[in-house]
């Protein structure tokens, strides 16, 4: 997988169609959440690539995009995405983001609306004061004991009743693959985040929520969908699914994305 330099960062990414999307197709950009990588979308992207270009990134400090000490925020991650689009000559894209990446996609749509075809936010985190407290505690744990405490709890506490042992093992591996320094940096991103300017978002919006998601509860998703200015907006809830939607229900997520794309 190639690397690209943006904003003094070396980001790892994959690109299904480097020369542009198939005729009549769109470009999708996939942004993962905390403790994850572009491989989070491994079960979704194959459904989309036959007719569209799919670009997936490892956010700075995650996966193979090494953390080098630069401070970051939801806004800087959105800026990294727009610079990546510039470098890859992508004028407009469908932004797909999960969890923190969903918040980033919404921030991107509020700030760079002319570069967005539509937004798919999967379990987006709606920042609140209580969110900050949760991640401050997580920072303390990882600072003292590394990634193993997260890997030993999150795959089991953050998945839904339909989650399988294999899915939980994959999530565990994603978490163990993070550097503590990069993970802590992104915990700060979430703990210090403020809500995007939802009213500034006019692009078509699909929110996919897990019916058993405790990390990004349905109430937050309902607030977002009610607050955006988009006239075309849909909230779909996946029963029995927790916070790792694209691992727990990859086929369902892909079908919802494609259906929304076709209908809008």
What are the structure tokens assigned to 176, written together? 């163990």
Return the minimum-mean-pLDDT range out of 32-46, 126-140, 149-163, 217-231.
126-140
Residue recorded with tokens 């999530």: 171
pLDDT of residue 70: 98
Nearest-10 Cα torsion for 178, 12, 94, 184: 30
Extents of the domains making up the chain: 3-263
User: Using one digit for the tens of pLDDT, what is the confidence trace for 87-105?
Assistant: 999 999 999 999 999 999 9
Residues 6+ apart with CB under 8 A from 191: 131, 132, 133, 134, 135, 136, 139
User: Using one digit for the tens of pLDDT, what is the confidence trace for 222-251?
Assistant: 999 999 999 999 999 999 999 999 999 999
Output the pTM of the full model.
0.98
Tell me the mean pLDDT in the region 197-224.
98
How does residue 181 score in pLDDT terms, banded at 50, 70 and 90?
very high
Q: Is 74 left (phi over 0), alpha (psi -120 to 50) or beta?
A: alpha
Q: Among candidates 228, 214, 245, 218, which has minimal Cα distance to 98?
A: 245
Residue 188 has pLDDT above 80, yes or no: yes
Q: Is the distance from CB of 242 to CB of 212 less than 8 angstroms?
A: yes
Tell me the mean pLDDT in the region 134-144.
96
Residue 264 has pLDDT above 90, yes or no: no
Q: Is the distance from CB of 55 to CB of 18 less than 8 angstroms?
A: no
Share of the chain above pLDDT 90, in %: 96
- Which residue(s) pair with 103 in the sheet? none
In angstroms, the CA 9 to CA 80 distance is: 9
Residue 20 has pLDDT above 90, yes or no: yes
Residue 156 has pLDDT above 80, yes or no: yes
* CATH entry 3.30.565.10 includes domain 3-263: no
Tell me the mean pLDDT in the region 54-76.
98
How does residue 118 score in pLDDT terms, banded at 50, 70 and 90?
very high
pLDDT of residue 55: 99
How does residue 165 score in pLDDT terms, banded at 50, 70 and 90?
very high
Tell me the mean pLDDT in the region 160-182.
98
Name the average pLDDT for the chain: 98
């Amino acid at each position: 997988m190639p690397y690209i330099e943006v904003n003094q960062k070396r980001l790892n990414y994959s690109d299904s169609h480097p020369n542009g999307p198939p005729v009549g197709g769109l470009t999708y950009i996939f942004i993962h959440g905390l403790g994850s990588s572009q491989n989070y979308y491994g079960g979704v992207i194959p459904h989309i690539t036959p007719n569209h270009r799919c670009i997936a990134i490892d956010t700075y400090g995650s996966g193979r995009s090494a953390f080098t000490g630069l401070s970051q925020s939801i806004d800087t991650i959105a800026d990294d995405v727009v610079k990546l689009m510039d470098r890859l000559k992508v004028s407009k894209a469908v932004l797909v983001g999960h969890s923190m990446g969903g918040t980033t996609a919404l921030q991107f749509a509020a700030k760079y609306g002319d570069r967005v075809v539509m937004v798919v936010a999967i379990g987006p985190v709606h920042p609140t004061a209580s969110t900050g407290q949760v991640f401050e505690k997580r920072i303390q744990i990882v600072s003292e004991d590394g990634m193993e405490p997260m890997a030993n709890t999150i795959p089991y506490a953050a998945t839904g009743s339909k989650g399988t042992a294999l899915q939980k093992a994959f999530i565990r591996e994603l978490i163990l693959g993070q550097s503590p320094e990069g993970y802590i940096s992104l915990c700060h991103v979430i703990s210090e985040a403020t809500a995007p300017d939802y009213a500034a978002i006019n692009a078509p919006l699909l929110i996919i929520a897990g019916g058993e998601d405790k990390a990004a509860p349905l109430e937050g998703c309902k607030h977002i969908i009610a607050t955006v200015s988009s006239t075309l907006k849909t909230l779909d809830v996946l029963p029995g699914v927790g916070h790792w939607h694209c691992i727990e229900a990859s086929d369902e997520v892909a079908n919802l994305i494609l259906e929304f794309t076709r209908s809008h």
